[in-house]
Amino acid sequence: MTTTRHLLTGTELSRDDLLAVLRRAHELKAAGVGPGATAPSHPASLAGLSVGLIFQKPSTRTRISMEVGVHELGAHPLLLRPDEMQLSRGESVKDTARILSRHVHAVGIRTNKDSLLEELAAEGTIPVVNLLTDGHHPCQVVADLLTLQEAFPERLSDDGGLDDLHLAYVGDGNNVARSIALVGAIAGLRVTVVAPDGYQLDPAETTATLSDDPRTGVAGADCLYADVWVSMGDTDSDERRAALRAYGLDDALLDAAAPGAIALHCLPAHPGEEISAEVLYGDRQRIWDQAENRRHAQKALLEWVLRAGPFSDAA
């Protein structure tokens, strides 16, 4: 019996799996599907399938990239908002998982607690994809790795790994930082997380280098990464901004990194806080490529969990 594939933290991917997903993402991007395409080569690898998309938190990039990406693969995206589901009225996750498993082929969910995601995967019989939880954001990081491969093609290992690259995440050690450390390590990426005391990752949960000094932490880094200081649900906004004030990504911090270093940001951005407007809209960043790459990375991940396209069991 075939085991159901899930993407809950990203650590479900082996190095071979992850690099194969990235190769497929490059292929899907090169196929020319999307705005401005003159003769798109539609892969339609999920033709006839349906993918449920549950958004219990606001979303721009994830919502757009997933809904469009599912359509581009030939499947039907079924958008499910909190007020449209009985989950909001007390129906159990167990019952919801059983119903979804009878009607759709996979489900992606953007929610708060990782435990809800885990229960959905445990109680259902279809793949579950993490579109963001309090603990992890694996889809974002696969798109980040795709962007780094595009930015530094001459630095990749023979198998496409990022073993020769160093990324320094600067700011709040949140779900994105955790996923960069976990999933980046699978691809061979060297990761440093630079954050003040009280906002750093737990040393027990990561092999990343941890630092509280921005200038020292970014030394030699090929990429500097920022995220918002105040995320959805954070109630201590003034305290956070005060603690993180010295951790903004600007041209001076990029100058302290390796020559030719680029800036990434998972968005939404707040210019003047975690990143300067000059970097966000300047020529030292790949942020808007990174935002587009969410779609291509997620299409490849959907094929992987559904064993479609090049990931077919028969392939």
pLDDT of 101 reads: 98
pLDDT (0 to 100) of residue 82: 79
d(CA 62, CA 67): 8
20-35 tens-digit pLDDT: 999 999 999 998 766 6
Residue indicated by tokens 């020559």: 259
Whether 136 sits among the annotated catalytic residues: the reply is: no
Amino acid at 3: T
- Asked if 294 is an active-site residue, the reply is yes
Beta strands in the chain (DSSP E): 50-55, 76-80, 106-110, 128-132, 166-170, 190-194, 209-211, 223-226, 262-265
- Give the whole-angstrom CA distance, residue 3 versus residue 6: 9
Residue 110 annotated to the active site? yes
pLDDT interval class at 304 (50, 70, 90) = very high
pLDDT for position 37: 56
| Residue in 5, 24, 56, 140 annotated catalytic | 140
Rounded to whole angstroms, the maximal C-alpha distance in the chain is: 55
Residue 234 has what pLDDT?
A: 74
pLDDT of 33: 62
Domain map (residue ranges) of the chain = 15-137+294-311, 140-291
* Domain 15-137+294-311, classified CATH 3.40.50.1370, yes or no: yes
2: pLDDT strictly greater than 90: no
**Residue 159 falls in the annotated catalytic set:** no
**258 token code pair:** 């390796």
pLDDT (mean) for 263-292: 98
Q: Based on the residue annotation, tell me whether 290 is a catalytic residue of this protein.
A: no
Of the candidates 258, 29, 229, 90, the one whose C-alpha atom is nearest the C-alpha of residue 165 is 258
| The pLDDT value given to residue 41 | 58
Identified catalytic residue from 172, 266, 285, 298? 266
What is the full DSSP assignment across 145-169? HHHHHHH-GGG--TTS--TT-EEEE
Query: In angstroms, what CA-CA distances link 19 with 95, 156, 284?
Result: 35, 11, 26
Task: Among 1-5, 204-208, 277-281, name the one with the lowest average pLDDT.
Answer: 1-5
Which pLDDT score is estimated for 260? 98
Query: How confident is the prediction for the chain on average, in pLDDT?
Result: 94
d(CA 59, CA 61): 6
Q: State the fold for domain 140-291.
A: Rossmann fold (3.40.50)
Average pLDDT over residues 53-67: 95
15-137+294-311 matches 140-291 in fold:
yes
Q: What is the mean pLDDT of residues 119-142?
A: 98
Range of lowest pLDDT (32-41, 80-89, 101-110): 32-41
Catalytic residue among 144, 172, 222, 227: 227
Residue 44 makes CB contacts below 8 A (sequence gap 6+) with: 73, 74
- pLDDT of 313 reads 78
